[in-house]
Amino acid sequence: MDAKRILLVMKNKPGVLNKISGLFQKRGINIENITAGEGYPEDTVRMTITGFWDEYTLNQVIVQAEKLFDVEFIKAFSRESVFRELVLIKIKVNSKNRQELLQILDIYRGSVVDVALESLIVEITGDIGKIDGFLKLIKNFNVLEIARTGVSAMSRGLEV
């Protein structure tokens, strides 16, 4: 089953995230990840929710969410939409492996956001395949922490 993603635009007020997560929880539907932040216009919150659902479940989520008072807009993203994620990774390094890590990071067009004597924090942005590919390449390094943002998405062209 492929990942499905929906966009929710809601009024930006306390409890909206709880309402949405409650909608999923009541129906026993798992959320793989959720990205939320201030939307446009500024009095809204924009949420991108990802899950591995069949078409029936996806449609049920949309129908049920449309009934919520604070929902201003909801839609399913098409496969042609733009999907991006950011990951921060703290890696223990030494004089022997630091250069190798930097070369891999350069190939993935990532950046170093913090340097310490024995560690680097690196940042990678891109589609999920790029992020997962980078993580596979560095599996032999001493990864200390990983923080992934979850997927943000937009439809291509003029479509909202």
Does the pLDDT at position 75 exceed 90?
yes
CA dist list (Å): 65 to 6, 21, 75, 116: 11, 10, 10, 46
145 within domain boundaries = yes
Question: What is the mean predicted confidence (pLDDT) over 140-157?
Answer: 96
Grade residue 76 by pLDDT with cuts at 50, 70 and 90: very high
Q: Please identify, among 47, 76, 105, the residue that sits at the C-terminal boundary of a domain.
A: 76
- pLDDT tens figures, 11-36: 999 999 999 999 999 999 999 999 99
Q: Quote the mean pLDDT of the chain.
A: 95
Structure tokens that stand for 152 in this block = 């943000």
Per-residue exposure over 119-128, b if at least 16 CB sit within 10 Å of its own CB, e if not: bbbbebbbee
160 within domain boundaries = no
Q: What is the pLDDT of residue 142?
A: 98
Question: What is the mean predicted confidence (pLDDT) over 70-95?
Answer: 96
Looking at the structure, tell me whether residues 100 and 56 fall in a common domain.
no
CB-CB contact of 1 with 53 (8 Å): yes
Question: What is the mean predicted confidence (pLDDT) over 70-74?
Answer: 94
Q: What is the pLDDT of residue 54?
A: 95
CATH of the domain at 107: 3.30.70.1150
Question: What is the mean predicted confidence (pLDDT) over 32-56?
Answer: 94
**Residue 101: which of 63, 71, 144 has the closest Cα?**
144
Looking at the structure, tell me whether residues 95 and 148 fall in a common domain.
yes
What is the domain extent for residue 91? 82-154
Does the pLDDT at position 153 exceed 90?
yes
Q: Is 55 helix (H, G, I), strand (E, B) or coil?
A: helix
Phi-psi domain of 68 (left: phi exceeds 0; alpha: psi -120 through 50; beta: other): beta
Domain count, the chain: 2
Looking at the structure, tell me whether residues 50 and 112 fall in a common domain.
no
Which helix (H) or strand (E) segment holds residue 8: the answer is: strand 4-11
65 within domain boundaries = yes
Q: What is the pLDDT of residue 41?
A: 87
CATH of the domain at 61: 3.30.70.260
